[in-house]
Structure 1
Amino acid sequence: MSDRPVFVIGCPRSGTTMLQLMLHSHPRMAVPPETRFLVPAYYRRRAWGDLRIDQRRRALAQWIATERSTKFRELKIDKDEFVKQVMDGPGSLGSVIGTAFRMYADRFDKARWGDKRPSYVKQVDMLLRLFPDAQFIHLIRDGRDCVASLKEMPWFTLDSFHAVSTWAEAIDAGGRLKRTLAADTYYELRYEDLTDDPATELKKLCHFLEEDFSPSMVSPREAASVAVPQHKVWHSNTHGEVTRSRIGSWANRLDPWEIELCEHMLGDRLEAMGYELSGAPKPAKEYVATCHKTMQKRKASRMRKHVRDRFNRLREPSPVAAMLTSGQRSLAGIPHQRSELTEPAV
């Protein structure tokens, strides 16, 4: 049976929380709420020093467990026990981070863990450095519905041009991943197909994950009380049955100029993903120019961050890749533990 980590990725407001709950409803998988310590720990990795040294691992573990911004508390695991297991574990950044997720899975007596954060779609290279045996599920939703939903979120403080750019970036990143990652590593799934026939789509997804399908995945609302924090009121729909009520609602939620902009800027991508265009007229030139300018600024920012990260990779104080799962240990050249060996024939 597989023990590979699983990451749910995509554009924000594309249904990733619903998919998180479906996976969490599987008897072998645990996928927590967003914890927000993985990315900061990675980008601050030089500050932690050599994690092969006990006190350095302790410092990182205590930061993860006590820093308020990390949301470690959402995992509801014992802080002291977490620090202890990190101290007893391998000296790599991925191992320290992975220990928190493994302990979360242990809470539910499950063999595998996952993580969900839409923005990971643009950080898969980083995730594969941390967890080289990881699998990725990219959930795709009509970009017009994503833009309409993003506009309504209290945490999305940017404008419609940024919302359009956010969806385009997720789709473009997914295209690159589809071309470069192995078929057993990257999987695409449309939100509309998942909500139309959950059982069929989840069976196909389970095949990708090398897991048996579980009917409990189709109705994940019970998992919502465990895996969706109550303060996230914008995820209230996850507490009910799977619904298609919001599909195509962009027609009533977007202003005419926004529909025009979406179909002009995203049209090729929408059609490539199987979405029909409404035939809206071309948007005003100033809207197109502003959107192009927004996309270019965001791209430049990503490139600067990428360059800094490539430079920091030359000065890493300790190993990055996790050494917890069977695949990770094999890649690191660590012998299998006795419990993983096939029992000798009697």
Structure 2
Amino acid sequence: MSDRPVFVIGCPRSGTTMLQLMLHSHPRMAVPPETRFLVPAYYRRRTWGDLRVPQRRKALAQWIATDRSTKFRELKIDKDEFIRQAVEGPGSLGSVIGTAFRMYADRFDKARWGDKRPSYVKQTDLLLRLFPDAQFIHLIRDGRDCVASLKEMPWYTLDSFHAVSTWAEAIDAGDRLRRTLPDDTYYELRYEDLTDDPMTEMKKLCHFLEEDFAPSMISPREAASQAVPQHKVWHSNTHREVTRSRVGSWANRLDEWEIALCEHVLGERLLANGYELTGAPRPAKEHVTACQKTMQKRKASRSRKAMRDRFNRLREPSPVGALLTTTQQSLAGIPQQRPEVTV
């Protein structure tokens, strides 16, 4: 049986919370609500110093467990016990972070853990540094539905041009991952197919994960009470059965100019992923120009961040990769202990 960590990725509002709950409904998998400490801990890794030193691991674990920005409380695990296990565990950044998720899985007596955050689709290199045996599930949804849904979110303060850019970036990142990652590491499925025939799609997904299919996965309402915080009212649909009711709802939720812009800017990507176009008229030139400028600015920002990270990799104070699972230990060259034979 596999113990590899699993990450659910994709464009925001593409159904990743629904998929998180379906996975959490598996008897061997625990996927918590979104936390906010994995990526910040990685980018601040030089702050913690050499994590082979127990006191440095303690400092990192205390930050994860107590800083108000981390949402550690969503895991509902004992803070002091987490700090103790992190200090006693392996001396690497991924090991300290992974200990929190492993303890979450232990809460439910499950063997594997996962994590869901849509933006991870653009951060898989980072995640593979932390968890070199990770598996990624990229959930893809019609970009027009994603744009329409993003616009309606209380936490989304950007404009439609940013929403269009967000979907394009997720799709482009997925294209790169499909070309570069092994078949047993990266998996794609469409939201529309998942909601149309959840049993078939989850059986195929379980095969990728090297897990037996569990019928509980296609009715994840019970898991919603455990893995979706009550204050996230925009995830209210996850407390119901898996449904196709929102498929194609963009037609009534987007303005005509937004439909035209989506089909012009995202057209090739939509077609490549099996989505039909309406033949909307060409969008206004000023809309196309504004969208292109937004995409260019976002790309430049990502490039600057990637450059800073490459520089920081030259000055890392301690190992990054986790050493918790059998595969992680094997990749690090740690010999596996053979079980003792009693006579």
TM-score bin (small chain)? over 0.9
1:286 Cα deviation after fit: 0.4
Q: Does 1:234 align with 2:229?
A: no
Tell me the distance in 2 between the aligned counterparts of 1:297 and 1:190. Answer: 29
Q: What SS does the aligned partner of 1:13 have?
A: coil
Q: What SS does the aligned partner of 1:231 have?
A: coil
**Residues 205-284 of structure 1: matches in 2 within 5 Å?**
205-284=205-284
Cα deviation, 1:33-60, whole Å, max 9, x if unaligned, reads: 0011000000000000000001100000
Counterpart for residue 198 of structure 1 = 198
Tell me the distance in 2 between the aligned counterparts of 1:11 and 1:313. Answer: 27
Q: CA RMSD in A?
A: 1.1
Q: What SS does the aligned partner of 2:266 have?
A: helix
- The residue identity in structure 1 corresponding to 2:164 is V
1:336 Cα deviation after fit: 1.2
Q: Does 1:91 align with 2:102?
A: no
Counterpart for residue 49 of structure 2 = 49
**Residues 1-346 of structure 1: matches in 2 within 5 Å?**
1-339=1-339
- The residue identity in structure 2 corresponding to 1:121 is V
**TM-score, structure 2 length as denominator?**
0.99
- The residue identity in structure 2 corresponding to 1:129 is R
Tell me the distance in 1 between the aligned counterparts of 2:251 and 2:87. Answer: 54
Tell me the distance in 2 between the aligned counterparts of 1:324 and 1:337. Answer: 13
Query: When the two structures are aligned, how many residues end up with a matched partner?
Result: 343
Tell me the distance in 2 between the aligned counterparts of 1:196 and 1:337. Answer: 45
Tell me the distance in 1 between the aligned counterparts of 2:68 and 2:336. Answer: 37
Which segments of 5 or more consecutive residues in structure 2 lack a partner in the other structure?
A: none
Q: What SS does the aligned partner of 2:69 have?
A: helix
Tell me the distance in 2 between the aligned counterparts of 1:3 and 1:198. Answer: 24
Tell me the distance in 1 between the aligned counterparts of 2:119 and 2:232. Answer: 17
1:337 Cα deviation after fit: 3.0
- The residue identity in structure 2 corresponding to 1:112 is R
- The residue identity in structure 2 corresponding to 1:196 is D
Q: What SS does the aligned partner of 1:283 have?
A: coil
Tell me the distance in 2 between the aligned counterparts of 1:249 and 1:284. Answer: 23
Cα deviation, 1:272-324, whole Å, max 9, x if unaligned, reads: 00000011000000000000000000000000000000000000000000000
Cα deviation, 1:151-210, whole Å, max 9, x if unaligned, reads: 000111000000000000000000000000000000000000000000000000000000
Identity over the aligned pairs, expressed in percent?
Answer: 86
- The residue identity in structure 1 corresponding to 2:282 is K
Q: What SS does the aligned partner of 2:137 have?
A: strand
- The residue identity in structure 2 corresponding to 1:284 is A
Tell me the distance in 1 between the aligned counterparts of 2:274 and 2:243. Answer: 20
Q: What SS does the aligned partner of 2:290 have?
A: helix
Q: What SS does the aligned partner of 1:69 have?
A: coil
Cα deviation, 1:221-240, whole Å, max 9, x if unaligned, reads: 00000000000000000000
Tell me the distance in 1 between the aligned counterparts of 2:228 and 2:52. Answer: 35
Q: What SS does the aligned partner of 1:139 have?
A: strand
Tell me the distance in 1 between the aligned counterparts of 2:290 and 2:87. Answer: 51
- The residue identity in structure 2 corresponding to 1:307 is M
1:335 Cα deviation after fit: 1.5
Tell me the distance in 1 between the aligned counterparts of 2:128 and 2:54. Answer: 25
Q: Which runs of 4+ in 1 moved over 3 A?
A: none
Q: What SS does the aligned partner of 1:324 have?
A: coil
Cα deviation, 1:61-103, whole Å, max 9, x if unaligned, reads: 0000000110000000000000000011000000000000000
Q: What SS does the aligned partner of 2:4 have?
A: coil
Which segments of 5 or more consecutive residues in structure 1 lack a partner in the other structure?
A: none
1:255 Cα deviation after fit: 0.2
Tell me the distance in 1 between the aligned counterparts of 2:333 and 2:268. Answer: 45
- The residue identity in structure 2 corresponding to 1:60 is L
TM-aligned CA distance change 1:212 to 1:325, over 3 Å: same
- The residue identity in structure 1 corresponding to 2:76 is K
- The residue identity in structure 2 corresponding to 1:229 is P
